């Protein structure tokens, strides 16, 4: 009988790699590696993984149950339920002041993660450069590489409040630059950009004919203003911007895996092809739950936002009191304190902190080399947890002296 198992593996003498080299060469996420370690330990207070500690609001969960109860278990349109796309476009128009046509300028995806992957694949020809600001979300560079593009990081720094300096951006632009990827409020720094900086970035996009990929997953979680404005609402920007968003953070729906992209019809259509052949559609239960989130959970979103704001104020103060200068982030649910005074590297600090005090934070270098000298602490955890964790951090820093 034919040995199927042996047939399916590559033979060393052919010297063919059984793995795709551009994928095999990618590093694994620094966050996940670190948290494999955390999971093996007991009693750790985690300021680690960036996920709301709130359970999804009840009305959303109830709607998901009700959707199943009604036997809603089919595929949907590849673009997503039209009722959800309409609700998304209304939400975006109302909150971000930019209008999209739900018929052809909006696609529902499996988290904003899928939307990011789709848009990068839809616009990237081999060798195209995509610029993004660092420290940044761990997926950006690998996603660009997986699409055979070239990731071009631009460092941001504490003295500029981790905003993207338009002059630095312009220096990174070459004839091969295809797009700029923005994420404000930013994971891991919590930084935002002001309107002046946003206008300057928009002007550069127009001048150099660039697309802008705008990851707005934390845009409702800002604490000193209402909602982070969308760059696509600026004159001349809608036609070159892809608005990327989802339900994971503001509505505490990470496990539902539901996101979306709004943008020019030709780009959405190209994204739809990849989505159609790979994912088909987002799960209907999650789509119906998301519709309910937009219909009835904006108040829950506001309550969570208020709670995050109080936690931010407490955690920033406590890091500063512990002798670790901490930039006041405007949004998201992360702080990015400076640990250089301890003389430890980010990785040493995070590793020793977990071993000696059982507090988990993420080394800043997980978000790019310019994260050296910082750690990321997520305050999407209880106030009690924040107080205990920062007390342990204070003791840890004191003992280092
Ligand atoms: N972008 C950023 C900046 C994020 O921090 C995350 C999640 N941590 C994502 C995208 C992915 O979110 P989703 O759950 O919608 O896929």
Report, as an integer, the average pLDDT of 133-142: 97
| 341: three-class secondary structure by DSSP | helix
Q: Give the pLDDT confidence score for residue 40 in this predicted structure.
A: 82
Decide: 389 and 379 in contact? Cβ < 8 Å.
Answer: no
Q: Cα separation of 137 and 111, whole Å?
A: 14
Lowest mean pLDDT among 38-42, 248-252, 288-292: 38-42
Beta partners for residue 206, in sequence order = none
Q: What is the pLDDT of residues 308-345, one digit of tens each?
A: 999 999 999 999 999 999 999 999 999 999 999 999 99
Binned at pLDDT 50, 70 and 90, residue 225 comes out as: confident
Q: How far is the CA of 13 from the centre of ligand 1 (A)?
A: 42
pLDDT attached to residue 227: 81
Nearest CA to ligand 1 atom 9: 113
**Exposure on the CB side of residue 312, measured as CA atoms within 13 A:** 23
Cα–Cα distance measured from residue 140 to residue 266, given in angstroms and rounded to the nearest whole number: 23
The number of angstroms, rounded, from the C-alpha of 363 to the middle of its chain's C-alpha atoms is: 17
Candidates 257, 352, 357, 199; CA nearest to 51 is 257
- The confidence band for 154, taking pLDDT boundaries of 50, 70 and 90, is very high
Q: Rounded to whole angstroms, how far apart are CA atoms 83 and 98?
A: 19
> Is the confidence at residue 30, as pLDDT, over 80?
no
CB of 297 within 6 A of ligand 1: the answer is: no
State the pTM of this model: 0.94
Distance CA 250, CA 305 (A): 8
Q: Is 183 in the pocket of ligand 1 (CB under 6 A)?
A: yes
Pocket test for ligand 1, best of 53, 88, 137 (most atoms within 8 A of CB): 137
**Banded model confidence at residue 3, pLDDT cuts 50, 70, 90:** very low
| CB neighbours of residue 397 within 10 Å | 19
pLDDT in tens, 82-111: 999 999 999 999 999 999 999 999 999 999
In the reported structure, the alpha carbon of residue 260 is separated from the centroid of ligand 1 by a whole-number distance in angstroms of 12
Looking at the predicted structure, is the pLDDT value of residue 166 above 80? yes
Integer angstrom CA distances of residue 58 from 64, 157, 295: 10, 40, 13
**Phi and psi, residue 132, nearest 5°:** -145, 165
Q: What is the pLDDT of residues 339-380, one digit of tens each?
A: 999 999 999 999 999 999 999 999 999 999 999 999 999 999
Q: 36 near 236, Cβ under 8 Å?
A: no
* Ligand 1 center from residue 189 Cα (angstroms): 14
Rounded mean pLDDT, 188-214: 96
Identify the burial level of 296 via C-beta atoms within 10 angstroms of its C-beta, where 0-12 means exposed, 13-18 middle and 19 or more buried.
middle
Mean predicted lDDT score pLDDT of the chain = 93
Give the pLDDT confidence score for residue 5 in this predicted structure. 45
What's the pLDDT at 41?
84
Q: Whose CA is closest to 334, among 199, 202, 138, 151?
A: 138
* E strand segments, 158-205: 177-182
Cα 196 to chain centroid distance, Å, stands at 23
Residue 52: CB within 6 Å of ligand 1?
A: no
pLDDT at 258: 98
Please give the structure tokens belonging to residue 216: 């707005």
**For the residues 180-185, what does the mean pLDDT come to?**
97
Binding site membership of 57 for ligand 1 (Cβ less than 6 Å): no
Q: SS3 for 17? A: coil
pLDDT tops 70 at residue 14 = no
pLDDT score of 6 = 45
- The confidence score (pLDDT) of residue 228 equals 83
Tokens of 164: 């993207």
């Amino acid at each position: 009988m034919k040995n199927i198992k042996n047939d399916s593996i590559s033979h060393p003498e052919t010297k063919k790699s059984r793995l795709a080299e551009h994928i095999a060469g990618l590093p694994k996420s620094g966050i996940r590696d670190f948290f494999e370690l955390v999971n093996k330990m007991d009693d750790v207070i985690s300021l680690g993984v960036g996920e709301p500690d709130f359970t999804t609001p009840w009305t959303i969960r109830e709607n998901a149950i009700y959707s199943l109860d009604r036997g809603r278990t089919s595929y949907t349109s590849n673009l997503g339920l039209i009722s959800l796309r309409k609700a998304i476009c209304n939400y975006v128009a109302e909150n971000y002041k930019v209008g999209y046509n739900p018929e052809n300028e909006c696609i529902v995806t499996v988290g904003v993660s899928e939307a990011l992957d789709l848009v990068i694949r839809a616009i990237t020809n081999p060798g195209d450069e995509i610029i993004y600001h660092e420290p940044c979300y761990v997926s950006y560079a690998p996603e660009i590489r997986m699409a055979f593009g070239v990731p071009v990081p631009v460092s941001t720094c504490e003295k500029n409040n981790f905003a993207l300096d338009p002059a630095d951006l312009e220096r990174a632009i070459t004839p091969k630059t295809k797009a700029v990827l923005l994420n404000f409020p930013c994971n891991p720094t919590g930084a935002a950009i002001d309107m002046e900086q946003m206008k300057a970035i928009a002007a550069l996009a127009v001048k150099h004919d660039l697309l802008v990929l705008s990851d707005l997953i934390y845009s409702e979680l800002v604490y000193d203003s209402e909602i982070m404005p969308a760059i696509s609402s600026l004159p001349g920007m809608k036609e070159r911007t892809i608005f990327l968003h989802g339900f994971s953070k503001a509505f505490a729906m990470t496990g539902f895996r539901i996101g979306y992209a709004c943008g020019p019809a030709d780009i959405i259509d190209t994204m739809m092809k990849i989505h159609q052949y790979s994912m088909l559609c987002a799960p209907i239960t999650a789509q119906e739950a998301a519709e309910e989130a937009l219909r009835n959970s904006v108040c829950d979103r506001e309550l969570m936002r208020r709670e995050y704001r109080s936690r931010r104020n407490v955690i920033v103060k406590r890091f500063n009191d512990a002798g670790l200068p901490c930039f006041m982030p405007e949004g998201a649910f992360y702080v990015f304190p400076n640990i250089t005074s301890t003389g430890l590297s980010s990785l040493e600090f995070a590793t020793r902190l977990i071993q000696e005090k059982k507090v988990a934070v993420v080394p800043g270098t997980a978000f790019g080399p310019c994260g050296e000298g910082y750690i990321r602490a997520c305050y999407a955890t209880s106030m009690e947890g924040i107080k205990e964790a920062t007390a342990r951090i204070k003791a840890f820093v004191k003992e280092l002296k």
